[in-house]
Chain A
């Protein structure tokens, strides 16, 4: 089931045949898609845990080497698991067409106007709407380059999003304090 979802996500993120212009990209561009949020085996509640599986697509305008991913919180601090920084290791990268890539000594590289993709599993701690920042860095001709993206994973709490009744996407208004 998970792999089927992942395949669907991959298909959805595959660059579509251009019918109209898309947003202008920077030299390094990142697209993230939350594939699923899987609750852990522990009890529900404030201390519940889980995993967010995120599809990552990195595109580059110039040849970019030494690509690395880091997972951060919105304030720029490291993502932690049991107070230890979480790192993405041994990621399986593939090219735009899905062919597996052999990582170089300094990590995967992206050719000119190329793209690579992977899926990361980010551990979640606590029932909350988790805002996950994925930062990607690389080297272009020896110069560092970076960008980031954000996804939100909902674990064990209402998602606070409008409720679609088929005609309207309803949400409550707050009285001004």
Chain B
């Protein structure tokens, strides 16, 4: 009997506990932040009020210290509106709401913006005085101001758009284990933005550098969903000879960040721009257009600009909001594919790469697990930056039997280290063999020139038997990874030049010119 009573009491208690609590009053209003509009030249001088979306709202009694003042939690909606039910039967001298730069009240959103000390930004309403226990309060529309506070909500908003971009690719926003924290302060002493793991430390003057924010956010995404081999350090947009690991990872971050803007149809989605954060119009420091091949023009995959342009062009089409509606910008191509195509490369085969570079992306694109195809269009796009991850005209010249005939003093031939035995688009290590007919006693020089895509050549002169190495050269000189080998023919007859990638490095492909000459 006692057990039955206890069970009944327990059941009754459960019913009471699950009845929704009755709210005594409602706190409502709308929260906006000032956004500085910009274009490729920097800020336009226009301030636009945008909604603070999905931010935490806390109703507090400001006369109570710390957590004792907490009355209720809520959140803003997609329009910045909030309506928070407060269970509180007390009469209070003051109540207020504060909007926080975090998203703990949205079950599938994990974003936090703090100052450099780790404190979350809190926009405080005015105090409502002498609040009775059943008085609803509407604070109206409140605005966070630029130059010190609104930037935190600009960062938060871009991260929310970013989370939704990830959801568009993967089906869900980043989970709680992927909480992203942006550390930013108007006077925080940070002069360069960086990302490490799930934490972005943003330059003081970058609170409205939307493309920089999304670039750094993209590093965080790739840290969580893909793989990076970026060695880090200082890098320059002008540099055509970046480490291929850095060039790809930085390119991917710019491309991916701009893709968020493109998916949302925002203006200037094709532009990456940094500013000095100064007030008023202008203040652009540097940046580039992902659709203009002339700016920061480089050849090969050792440029972050070239790599990002190539990836961008996969999804770029006539509908891109880039100021040239109706035109698929240079180079015109047949591709205007959804971002899921690149996403599955980032989150699939790239994770298995030893070193993540542009080659990893190319091979991942054609990996059987992804099989994105479109080989001809991909070649067109990549070729526009002379990124040649495909066979040259002489393949298969991997053996002396299939060697390409080379004549001394002919113009240099252009070749690539890339072999695709099964024709699936994905490459393999390649050796190029060229045959030449030598005259006994004549000196010959074989050399590689114009190396691209972090290429590092090695040249060997082979005897008529195709196996005996008569002369060879790896690096032409210290700091020059091209090769030059001079040799005098011991007799007249057929000999071979074997050209292959030198050992080491982070890549296996690359372009080069080969020339055979006599003095």
- Chain A residues with a Cβ under 8 A of chain B: 12-13, 15, 18-27, 29, 31-33, 57, 59, 61-62, 74-76, 113, 131, 133, 147-150, 152, 159-162, 164-176
24 chain-A/chain-B pairs, Cβ below 8 angstroms: A19-B232, A20-B196, A20-B232, A21-B195, A21-B232, A24-B236, A26-B237, A31-B191, A113-B234, A131-B278, A147-B285, A150-B283, A159-B187, A160-B147, A164-B117, A168-B120, A169-B121, A169-B152, A171-B144, A171-B148, A173-B99, A174-B144, A175-B126, A176-B142
Interface pair A24/B235, CB less than 8 Å apart = yes
Complex interface: chain B residues within 8 A of A148 (CB): 276, 278, 283, 285
Complex interface: chain B residues within 8 A of A149 (CB): 205, 276
In the complex, B163 has a CB within 8 A of chain A:
no
Complex interface: chain A residues within 8 A of B98 (CB): 168, 170
Complex interface: chain B residues within 8 A of A159 (CB): 187
Q: Name the contact of A133 in the complex, choosing from B203, B237, B276 (C-beta under 8 A).
A: B276
Closest CB in chain A relative to B266 CB, distance in Å: 21
Chain B residues 131-168 with CB under 8 Å of chain A are 140-145, 147-149, 152
Closest CB in chain B relative to A79 CB, distance in Å: 13
Complex interface: chain B residues within 8 A of A31 (CB): 191-192
Give Cα A161–Cα B115 distance, bound, in whole angstroms.
11
Q: Name the contact of B234 in the complex, choosing from A25, A169, A176 (C-beta under 8 A).
A: A25
Complex interface: chain B residues within 8 A of A18 (CB): 231-234
Complex interface: chain A residues within 8 A of B473 (CB): none
Complex interface: chain B residues within 8 A of A13 (CB): 191
Of A15, A24, A26, A113, chain B has the most CB atoms within 10 Å of the CB of A24
Nearest chain-B residue to A60 (Cβ)? Answer: B236
Interface pair A167/B123, CB less than 8 Å apart = no
Closest CB in chain A relative to B21 CB, distance in Å: 26
Closest CB in chain A relative to B152 CB, distance in Å: 8
List of 6 A-B pairs having minimum Cβ-Cβ separation, nearest first: A18-B233, A26-B286, A173-B142, A168-B122, A176-B141, A18-B232
In the complex, B186 has a CB within 8 A of chain A:
yes
Give Cα A152–Cα B212 distance, bound, in whole angstroms.
21
Complex interface: chain B residues within 8 A of A173 (CB): 31, 99, 123-126, 142-144
Closest CB in chain B relative to A60 CB, distance in Å: 9
Nearest chain-B residue to A166 (Cβ)? Answer: B119
Interface pair B236/A61, CB less than 8 Å apart = yes
Q: Name the contact of A21 in the complex, choosing from B49, B115, B143, B233 (C-beta under 8 A).
A: B233
With A22-B234, A31-B191, A173-B123 known, 13 other A-B pairs at CB within 8 A are A21-B232, A22-B194, A23-B215, A24-B236, A25-B286, A147-B286, A148-B285, A150-B283, A159-B187, A162-B148, A171-B144, A173-B144, A174-B143
Q: Name the contact of A59 in the complex, choosing from B119, B194, B234 (C-beta under 8 A).
A: B234
Complex interface: chain B residues within 8 A of A15 (CB): 234
Q: Name the contact of A33 in the complex, choosing from B189, B238, B283 (C-beta under 8 A).
A: B189
The answer to whether residues A21 and B121 also contact, given A26-B285, A27-B236 and a CB cut-off of 8 A, is no
In the complex, B262 has a CB within 8 A of chain A:
no
Q: Name the contact of B194 in the complex, choosing from A12, A20, A62 (C-beta under 8 A).
A: A20
Complex interface: chain A residues within 8 A of B147 (CB): 160
Complex interface: chain B residues within 8 A of A59 (CB): 234
Interface pair A169/B219, CB less than 8 Å apart = no
The answer to whether residues A23 and B274 also contact, given A61-B236, A176-B32 and a CB cut-off of 8 A, is yes
Q: Name the contact of A164 in the complex, choosing from B115, B249, B304 (C-beta under 8 A).
A: B115
Complex interface: chain B residues within 8 A of A26 (CB): 236-238, 274, 285-286
Interface pair A174/B145, CB less than 8 Å apart = yes
Interface pair A61/B239, CB less than 8 Å apart = yes
Interface pair A21/B194, CB less than 8 Å apart = yes
In the complex, B230 has a CB within 8 A of chain A:
yes
Interface pair B280/A74, CB less than 8 Å apart = yes
Complex interface: chain B residues within 8 A of A152 (CB): 186-187
Interface code B269-302, partner A: CB below 8 Å = 1, 0 otherwise?
0000010111110110110000000000000000
Interface code B45-85, partner A: CB below 8 Å = 1, 0 otherwise?
00001000000000000000010000000000000000000
Nearest chain-A residue to B49 (Cβ)? Answer: A176
Complex interface: chain A residues within 8 A of B186 (CB): 152, 161
Interface pair B250/A21, CB less than 8 Å apart = yes
Complex interface: chain A residues within 8 A of B119 (CB): 164-169
Chain B residues 160-216 with CB under 8 Å of chain A are 185-187, 189, 191-196, 203, 205, 212, 215
Nearest chain-A residue to B282 (Cβ)? Answer: A76
Complex interface: chain A residues within 8 A of B152 (CB): 169
Give Cα A21–Cα B245 distance, bound, in whole angstroms.
11
Closest CB in chain B relative to A115 CB, distance in Å: 9
Nearest chain-A residue to B272 (Cβ)? Answer: A24
The answer to whether residues A170 and B124 also contact, given A61-B236, A131-B278, A133-B278 and a CB cut-off of 8 A, is yes
Give Cα A25–Cα B278 distance, bound, in whole angstroms.
18
